[in-house]
């Protein structure tokens, strides 16, 4: 949560988890700047603009982005280092330079930037850590190479538990129609709200909305489980706790420790609900 202060002044925040950082960004409401972590065991920064995360860097990972880009482009490490230093000296975004020069495809660049940002966020956050937000001039980052907080929070959870992420993605793929958006969450003993671990399609862009969806689904399914349905399904007209534009219905189901949610617009509800119900009922 943002501590009371002027919109253009420094603000302090918890950096104990990626969730803390992402929900802080959701609440910024406009200003661009850096979230700076400067602790004994972690140093780095996260640059944000227009409610999105543009990049993150952490001590010890300075060469990681170059490694990822080398893997995606096939450019020699020495050449990539030279490009990196040139862009730094000219104050040019590295990724956009690589795309403009035809060295890397936009999709591959975005993938490398996302992975580097997630790894940096995980390195910067931890128990007892604090950070400070410092407003900065806008950097002019291309929106296609920035990230919504819901996307990064999900990727961070998946990075920490890849086996669970694979299972969650398979669950969404198997029981949702091709047109439908969906998300899967995993319960953690230490957290009241399940963590997002897989997303399919385009859903809520903010971590706060995605977590609101998780809380709604988990609470509703817990009520159903009181009546003996450990693995259950329910369908509802758009819940009020989250903003999911264009979605007419949401179907929630639990299966093997996962809490899953899928959209079903009018005309899709029956097929989606039946598919999820078959998933719940299967041995």
Which tokens is 167 given? 């299972």
Average pLDDT score over residue span 233-251: 58
| Max mean pLDDT range (148-162, 202-216, 266-280) | 148-162
Average pLDDT score over residue span 139-151: 84
Whether residue 229 is contained in a domain is answered as yes
Residue range of the domain that includes 65: 11-147
DSSP string, 94-130: HHHHHHHTTSS-HHHHHHHHHHHHHHHHHHH--TT-E
Q: How far apart are CA 91 and CA 44, in angstroms?
A: 19
DSSP at 3: P
Which of the pair, 238 or 64, is modelled with greater confidence?
64
HEC assignment per residue over 189-230 = CCCCCCEEEEEECCCCCCHHHHHHHHHHHHHHHHHHHCCCCC
Are residues 215 and 168 part of one domain? yes
Going by C-alpha positions, the residue among 42, 86, 33 that lies closest to residue 60 is 42
- Which H or E element spans position 237? strand 233-237
Are residues 260 and 199 part of one domain? yes
Average pLDDT score over residue span 1-15: 67
Would you state the pLDDT for residue 3? 45
Whether residue 4 is contained in a domain is answered as no
Are residues 270 and 203 part of one domain? yes
Among 12-21, 117-126, 213-222, the least confident range: 213-222
Q: How many CB atoms lie within 10 A of CB 78?
A: 9
Which tokens is 38 given? 């400067």
Number of structural domains found in the chain: 2
Among 147, 173, 206, the domain boundary falls at 147
Among 147, 177, 207, the domain boundary falls at 147
Does 52 have pLDDT greater than 90?
A: yes
Would you state the pLDDT for residue 256? 79
Q: What is the CATH number of the domain that holds 240?
A: 3.30.450.30
Among 17-31, 103-117, 121-135, 257-271, the least confident range: 257-271
Are residues 190 and 131 part of one domain? no
Whether residue 92 is contained in a domain is answered as yes
Are residues 107 and 194 part of one domain? no
Dump pLDDT digits (tens) for 55-98.
888 887 767 777 887 787 777 777 877 887 888 788 777 777 88
Whether residue 165 is contained in a domain is answered as yes
Among 147, 175, 203, the domain boundary falls at 147
Q: How far apart are CA 69 and CA 103, in angstroms?
A: 10
Whether residue 2 is contained in a domain is answered as no
Q: By percentage, how much of the chain surpasses pLDDT 70?
A: 81
Are residues 200 and 94 part of one domain? no
Whether residue 3 is contained in a domain is answered as no
pTM of model > 0.85: no
Q: How far apart are CA 80 and CA 32, in angstroms?
A: 28
């Amino acid at each position: 949560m943002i501590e009371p202060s002027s919109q253009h002044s420094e603000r302090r925040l918890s950096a104990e988890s990626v969730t803390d950082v992402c929900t802080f960004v959701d609440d910024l409401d406009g200003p661009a700047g850096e979230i700076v972590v400067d602790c004994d065991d972690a140093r780095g920064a996260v640059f944000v603009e227009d409610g999105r995360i543009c990049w993150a860097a952490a001590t010890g990972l300075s060469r990681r982005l170059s490694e990822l880009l080398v893997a995606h482009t096939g450019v020699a490490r020495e050449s990539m280092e030279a490009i990196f230093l040139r862009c730094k000296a000219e104050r040019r975004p590295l990724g956009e330079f690589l795309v403009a020069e035809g060295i890397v495809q936009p999709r591959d660049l975005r993938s490398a930037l996302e992975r580097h940002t997630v790894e940096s966020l995980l390195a910067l956050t931890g128990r007892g850590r604090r950070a400070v937000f410092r407003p900065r001039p806008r950097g002019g980052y291309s929106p296609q190479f920035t990230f919504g907080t819901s996307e990064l929070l999900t990727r961070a959870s998946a990075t920490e538990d890849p086996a669970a992420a694979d299972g969650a993605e398979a669950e969404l793929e198997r029981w949702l129609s091709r047109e439908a958006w969906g998300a899967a969450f995993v319960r953690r003993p230490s957290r009241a709200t399940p963590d997002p671990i897989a997303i399919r399609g385009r859903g809520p862009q903010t971590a706060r909305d995605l977590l609101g969806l998780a809380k709604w689904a988990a609470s509703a399914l817990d009520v159903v489980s009181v009546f003996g349905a450990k693995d259950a399904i329910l369908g509802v007209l758009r819940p009020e706790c989250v903003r999911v534009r264009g979605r007419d219905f949401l179907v929630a189901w639990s299966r093997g420790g996962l809490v899953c949610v899928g959209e079903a617009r009018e005309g899709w509800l029956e097929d989606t609900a039946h598919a999820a119900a078959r998933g719940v009922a299967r041995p």
